[in-house]
Structures are given as structure tokens and as C-alpha cells.
């Protein structure tokens, strides 16, 4: 019975009912339709387009149209295989992606530029991986041409019109290239499997992962998912489905009962790559390796020579340091550890540290006395932060770690390990610098305990006792105001720390003069403390949150 959910040809796509999901293309007001002329194609490319058009016509996915206000271009692009190494005429090895075929695409850039964007969120990849890992049995399912199973609203079909040497055609079903297609597809999948997601399965676009605590349980879950596919006319791809296995590939990672690992097939391709010969090659290599940066220790220290070649106007010189960095990154990738999803019943452990140039953090837990890694994270310091004192850097590292891992840590008990013992006493210190006071107040959102790392070095495994300094590829600033709230305005309070301290402890600095105290108490009535924030009653009767300078 469940065989009806699995097919192997596009002609079997009945299409998901419009009552379940329909794709709409909403155009911005005052936008003018765009008709683009067809693009010249050589005879070989014409045959590729002809075959694609005939296939889609027979499957009733497209239809001829003669009068449309919107016309987009047809583009033929190469299908590329994985990265590999080839030899040039000079017997030099270079990395490249071999062409394995041709794909027909529609250039919808003009249409997308005037389309109102759908902001339906895609799930976070790392959270999906954590939820599916740790089970003994899996079934990996894949939608057959998933986009082509979703109807386009009748009023919007003409907007998908494309031109080619064989005429103009419009899509009945949702094609690739539309800016809101991913959001529509994810919404459709969640609508179909809303009562199953995070209970017996996970879905990320057309990748469906079914899991179970035993062979029988996984089989029952699979039967329920396939039955739902039949009810909703969702067709799966026979060639890409794997049933009742103990490990498999999900979102580019290997998941199993043990945890989350790098995909060995991808790693083998990367390991075989020759040294890059230009900046583009370095950027591609770091991009491939960086996909698994969650698993690699000391990423930025190792990759620093390569990153220096990416600096604008830097001269490309491949020296011994670059070669060493290149080889070490590949070596670390092949020995990357297995990371595990957190056991939410146990307290989190965060190890963080800061150096003169960067700071790093490791999120982990201990189960049966043994530590295991959940996440590595790090950040390079900007020029101003490098001038901070040691205490400020160490506390900033804690703030960074709690910001980075906030989704894990809010509402949980946290043990923070640091090798700077002074941090343990800062939480009770009342006359620290304003910057430190601000960070301390931010930490009060969490239920944490700070411990000296030296006392646990003999217990915590090496990969937890060493700090990871990862390459700062995104360049985003540290969010040291991490409670995510919208502010109407910003009030810069010169005595922020003293005001907060007084409202909490009812004490003022002993070194203040009588005049200082008089001036302070004249304005203190306008402020109130609502942990962990300070607010002010302003003259315009608006209550504003105070944000440090």
C-alpha cells in the first residue's frame, strides 16, 4: 500500500492539493511588468532545452502561453560534480568541479526584484541535526522534484512565463528560481507533517528523516509518514530513499546513535585537493573546510596564513606556512571528533578563555562522569577590544560564549570554567568599571556558576580543556547586549553602573563627596531596576531602557 508514496519518474507527480499549499507571487505596488527577449543558444544547448520543455509538457508542469505581461529568460547551466583535482598541460594539479551534464534554469531575477518577500523561517540546521542524532535506526526520505509538486495560484502562473527557441511557456507548478519558493516549500512540509515533526521525524525542505528507538518503532514511524504522503499526494524519490539504517547522511553530516560526524565522502574529496593557485582557490577551500568548522579545533590559528592571502591588495605568495596550514586543516578535518546533541536533563558546561587576539568557547556536558562536546565557537577581537585588560577580556569571553550558545543555555543551569579566578568574585563586586558592571548585569539573566578551570583539567578531556579560536569569516560584532529587544530610543547614562548598583544594593561609592551624593540622589528617582535591565521615566512620560555607551 505504501508503495504509492514512492515513484521514479516525473510523470507520476499528481501534485499536492491546493487546499494544502499553493504558491503565490505578490508583486510590489507600482511595479511594472518586464518582458525579456530570448537568449541566443547554440544547437547543442537548444537540444538540451528542447528535451526539458518536452518532458515538462508531457508531465503537465508547464503549458504554452501567448499573452503574458511577464517574460523571463531561459538559461542553460552546467551540472557540476564534486570538487576534484586534474592535471594541466604543465603537469600542475589544480582543483576544479567537473561538468556532469546540463540543467535548464529560468532567470527570474527581474521578477524576484519586485516580488514581496515571504519571511517564513527555515529551521536552524544545527538544531535539526541535534534532534535527529542519537537514535539507533533511521529512514532517510527525499521528495521527488519537490517544487514541481506544489501548484502555483492561477492568477500568478503567467508571471512565471519564460521564453525559449520553441515558444513561450508558463508553469503550473512551482519552478526553481523564484525567491519565495523555499519558504513556500518548507511551509508546505510543516503543514503536512505538523503533528509528526520533532516527535518521530524532522524535515528540512525535501529532506525527511524518520527515526525510532528500536527497529519496530522506526518501522511504525515510517509507515505513518508514508501513509501521510499518500493522503497528501506527496511523492518521494525511490533512488534517494534509504530505509531502516543505523546511520546516514542528513544535511551534509553523518548522523547515528553516536552523534554527529563530518561526511567522510566530502572530506575525502577535500583531502585530495592540490594547493590553491589563486585567491579564489583559497576562498573555495576555506569555504569547504569551514562548513565543518564546528568540529575543528584551533581553526583560525591553523588557517591564519591562508586568511592573510585574502586581504585586499595582498600579494599572493604560497610559502611554507601556507602549505603547512593547508595540510594541517586537511589533517584535522579527517580526525574531526564526533559531537553529540545535548541531554537537556543535565547542566551545561562552558569553557571559555581569551588571548591577546581572540577568544574561544566550548559548549559541552558530562554524562556518567565523561565529558562530551556539543559545539565549538570563537571570535577574533577587534582593535578596541585588544586594549582591554585581562579581566575585561576574560569576562568578554564569557559574555561571547553565553551569547553564542544562548539558545541552549536560557533556562538551564550552567557551569562556566575559566582560568581567570578573579571572575568568580566580579559578580559580587560593586565598584568595578562601568563596562564590567554592564556585562555582569547581562549575565544575571542566566543561572550560572563560575569555576576555576585549573581544578578540572585532570577530569575534562583534552578537546574540552583547550580553547578553540576559529577563523572570523563573518566579521560580525560580539552582541554584548544580547537580550534581543527593540528599543524606542537609547538613553546614555554616564553613571549607569552606580545607578544600577544603588538600586540593587542601596549603597553608593564611599569616595563620593557630599556634592556628588546630592547630585546623584536628585536624579535617582527617575530610574528603576527590573532585573536585568535599568529603565528611566523620561520627561515625555515614556519609559526607556538604558543602554550603556
Q: Which fold has domain 6-256?
A: HIV Type 1 Reverse Transcriptase; Chain A, domain 1 (3.10.10)
Is residue 471 predicted with pLDDT exceeding 80? Answer: no
Instruction: Give the mean pLDDT of 260-289.
Output: 81
Positive/negative CA dihedral, 461, 466, 467, 473: negative
Taking each helix axis as running N to C, give the angle between helix 320-334 and helix 299-308, from 0 to 180 degrees, rounded to the nearest 10: 140
Is residue 466 predicted with pLDDT exceeding 60? Answer: no
Q: Of 262, 313, 256, 299, nearest to 133 (Cα)?
A: 256
8 A C-beta contact, residue 158 and residue 69: yes
Residue 283 in grid coordinates: 576562498
pLDDT band at 460 (very low <50, low <70, confident <90, very high): very low
Rounded distance, CA 287 to CA 270, Å?
Answer: 11
Q: What pLDDT shows up at residue 489?
A: 31
Q: What pLDDT shows up at residue 349?
A: 87
Residue written as grid cell 582560568: 419
For CATH 3.30.70.270, the residue range(s) in the chain are 264-335
Instruction: Give the mean pLDDT of 246-260.
Output: 87
Rounded distance, CA 294 to CA 309, Å?
Answer: 23
Q: What pLDDT shows up at residue 96?
A: 53
Q: What pLDDT shows up at residue 311?
A: 80
Top pLDDT among 326 and 482 is at: 326
Residue 100 in grid coordinates: 556532469
- Percentage of the residues of the chain whose pLDDT score is greater than 90: 21
pLDDT band at 26 (very low <50, low <70, confident <90, very high): very high
Q: What pLDDT shows up at residue 351?
A: 84
Is residue 485 predicted with pLDDT exceeding 60? Answer: no
For CATH 3.10.10.10, the residue range(s) in the chain are 6-256
Rounded distance, CA 443 to CA 158, Å?
Answer: 55
Q: 8 — phi, psi (to 5°)? A: -135, 5
Instruction: Give the mean pLDDT of 274-301.
Output: 78
Write the pLDDT tens digit of every residue in 58-99.
Answer: 999 999 998 889 999 998 887 655 545 555 555 555 445 555
Write the pLDDT tens digit of every residue in 443-457.
Answer: 777 888 888 765 344
Residue 168 in grid coordinates: 513561450
Top pLDDT among 298 and 303 is at: 303
Rounded distance, CA 337 to CA 373, Å?
Answer: 8
Q: What is the mean pLDDT of the chain?
A: 78
Instruction: Give the mean pLDDT of 315-324.
Output: 87
8 A C-beta contact, residue 378 and residue 405: no
Is residue 431 predicted with pLDDT exceeding 60? Answer: no
Residues sharing a CB contact under 8 Å with residue 466, sequence separation 6 or more, in sequence order: 297, 298
Q: Of 64, 7, 25, nearest to 174 (Cα)?
A: 25
Q: What pLDDT shows up at residue 503?
A: 72
Residue count (the chain)? 549
Phi/psi-derived region of residue 15, left when phi > 0, alpha when psi is between -120 and 50, beta in every other case? left
Strand extents, DSSP E, 51-194? 62-64, 73-87, 93-107, 137-142, 151-152, 162-164, 167-171
Which H or E run contains 544?
strand 543-545
Residue 219 in grid coordinates: 518501522
For residue 240, CA distances in Å to 141, 181, 533, 537 come to: 7, 22, 52, 61
Instruction: Give the mean pLDDT of 309-334.
Output: 84
Q: 236 — phi, psi (to 5°)? A: -105, 155
For CATH 3.30.420.10, the residue range(s) in the chain are 348-463
Which H or E run contains 211?
strand 207-212
Which CATH number does 264-335 carry? 3.30.70.270
pLDDT band at 404 (very low <50, low <70, confident <90, very high): confident
395-419 burial, b for 16+ CB within 10 Å, e for fewer?
Answer: bbbbbbbbbbbeebbeebebbbbbb
Q: What pLDDT shows up at residue 150?
A: 92
Q: What pLDDT shows up at residue 201?
A: 93
For residue 469, CA distances in Å to 149, 402, 450 come to: 45, 16, 21
Q: What pLDDT shows up at residue 464?
A: 30
Q: Which fold has domain 348-463?
A: Nucleotidyltransferase; domain 5 (3.30.420)
Strand extents, DSSP E, 31-92? 62-64, 73-87
Q: 161 — phi, psi (to 5°)? A: -60, 135
pLDDT band at 541 (very low <50, low <70, confident <90, very high): low
Lowest-pLDDT choice from 8-22, 326-340, 435-449, 488-502: 488-502
Top pLDDT among 229 and 273 is at: 229
| DSSP secondary structure, 332-348, as one string | HHHTPPPB----TTSPE
The distance from CA 375 to its chain's CA centroid, rounded to whole angstroms, is 13
Q: What pLDDT shows up at residue 315?
A: 84
Instruction: Give the mean pLDDT of 135-151.
Output: 90
Is residue 222 predicted with pLDDT exceeding 90? Answer: yes
Q: What pLDDT shows up at residue 221?
A: 94
8 A C-beta contact, residue 117 and residue 111: no
Q: What pLDDT shows up at residue 446?
A: 80
Residues sharing a CB contact under 8 Å with residue 139, sequence separation 6 or more, in sequence order: 209, 210, 211, 218, 221, 222, 225, 241, 242, 243, 244, 245
Is residue 496 predicted with pLDDT exceeding 50? Answer: yes
Q: What pLDDT shows up at residue 300?
A: 66
Is residue 386 predicted with pLDDT exceeding 60? Answer: yes
Residues sharing a CB contact under 8 Å with residue 545, sequence separation 6 or more, in sequence order: 485, 487, 491, 533, 534, 535
Amino acid at each position: 500500500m505504501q508503495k504509492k508514496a514512492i515513484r521514479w519518474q516525473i510523470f507520476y507527480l499528481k501534485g499536492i492539493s491546493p487546499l494544502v499549499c499553493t504558491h503565490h507571487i505578490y508583486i510590489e505596488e507600482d511595479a511594472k511588468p518586464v518582458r525579456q527577449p530570448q537568449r541566443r543558444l547554440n544547437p547543442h544547448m537548444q537540444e538540451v532545452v528542447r528535451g526539458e520543455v518536452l518532458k515538462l509538457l508531457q508531465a503537465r508542469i508547464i503549458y504554452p502561453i501567448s499573452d503574458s505581461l511577464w517574460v523571463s529568460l531561459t538559461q542553460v547551466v552546467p551540472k557540476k560534480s564534486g570538487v576534484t583535482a586534474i592535471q594541466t598541460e604543465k603537469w600542475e594539479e589544480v582543483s576544479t568541479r567537473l561538468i556532469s551534464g546540463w540543467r535548464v534554469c529560468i532567470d527570474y531575477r527581474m521578477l524576484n526584484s519586485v516580488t514581496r518577500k515571504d519571511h517564513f523561517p527555515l529551521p536552524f540546521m544545527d538544531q535539526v541535526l541535534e534532534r535527529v542524532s542519537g537514535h539507533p535506526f533511521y529512514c532517510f526520505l527525499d521528495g521527488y522534484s519537490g517544487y514541481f509538486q506544489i501548484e502555483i495560484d492561477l492568477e500568478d502562473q503567467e508571471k512565471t512565463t519564460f521564453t525559449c527557441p520553441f515558444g513561450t511557456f508558463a508553469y503550473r507548478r512551482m519552478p526553481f528560481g523564484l525567491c519565495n519558493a523555499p519558504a513556500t516549500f518548507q511551509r508546505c512540509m510543516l503543514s503536512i507533517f505538523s503533528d509528526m515533526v520533532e516527535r518521530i521525524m524532522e524535515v528540512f525542505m525535501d529532506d525527511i528523516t524518520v527515526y525510532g528507538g528500536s527497529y519496530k518503532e522506526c518501522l511504525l514511524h515510517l509507515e505513518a509518514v508514508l501513509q501521510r504522503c499518500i493522503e497528501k499526494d506527496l511523492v518521494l524519490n525511490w533512488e534517494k530513499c534509504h530505509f531502516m539504517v543505523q546511520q546516514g547522511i542528513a544535511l551534509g553530516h553523518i548522523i547515528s546513535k553516536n552523534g554527529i560526524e563530518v561526511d567522510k565522502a566530502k572530506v575525502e574529496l577535500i583531502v585530495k585537493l592540490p594547493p590553491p593557485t589563486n585567491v579564489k582557490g583559497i576562498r573555495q577551500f576555506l569555504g569547504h573546510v569551514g562548513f565543518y568548522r564546528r568540529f575543528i579545533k584551533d581553526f583560525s590559528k591553523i588557517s591564519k596564513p591562508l586568511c592573510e592571502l585574502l586581504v585586499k591588495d595582498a600579494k599572493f605568495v604560497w610559502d611554507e606556512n601556507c602549505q603547512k596550514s593547508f595540510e594541517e586543516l586537511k589533517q584535522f578535518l579527517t580526525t574531526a571528533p564526533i559531537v553529540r546533541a545535548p541531554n537537556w536533563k543535565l547542566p551545561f558546561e562552558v569553557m571559555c578563555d581569551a588571548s591577546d587576539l581572540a577568544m574561544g568557547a566550548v559548549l559541552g556536558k558530562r554524562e556518567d562522569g565523561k565529558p562530551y562536546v556539543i559545539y565549538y565557537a570563537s571570535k577574533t577581537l577587534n582593535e578596541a577590544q585588544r586594549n582591554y585588560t585581562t579581566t575585561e577580556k576574560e569576562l568578554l569571553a564569557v559574555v561571547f560564549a553565553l551569547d553564542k550558545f544562548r539558545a541552549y543555555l536560557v533556562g538551564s543551569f550552567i557551569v562556566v570554567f575559566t582560568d581567570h579566578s578573579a571572575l568568580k568574585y566580579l559578580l559580587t563586586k560593586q565598584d568595578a568599571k562601568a563596562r564590567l558592571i554592564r556585562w555582569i548585569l547581562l549575565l544575571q539573566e542566566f543561572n550560572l556558576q563560575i569555576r576555576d578551570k585549573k581544578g578540572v583539567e585532570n577530569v575534562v578531556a583534552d578537546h574540552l580543556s583547550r580553547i578553540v579560536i576559529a577563523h572570523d569569516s563573518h566579521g560580525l560584532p560580539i552582541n554584548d547586549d544580547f537580550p534581543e529587544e527593540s528599543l524606542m530610543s537609547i538613553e546614555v547614562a554616564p553613571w549607569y553602573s552606580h545607578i544600577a548598583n544603588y538600586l540593587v544594593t542601596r549603597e553608593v561609592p564611599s569616595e563620593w563627596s557630599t556634592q556628588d551624593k546630592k547630585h546623584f540622589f536628585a536624579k535617582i528617582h527617575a530610574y528603576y531596576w527590573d532585573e536585568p535591565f535599568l529603565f528611566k521615566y523620561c520627561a515625555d512620560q515614556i519609559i526607556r531602557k538604558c543602554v550603556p555607551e
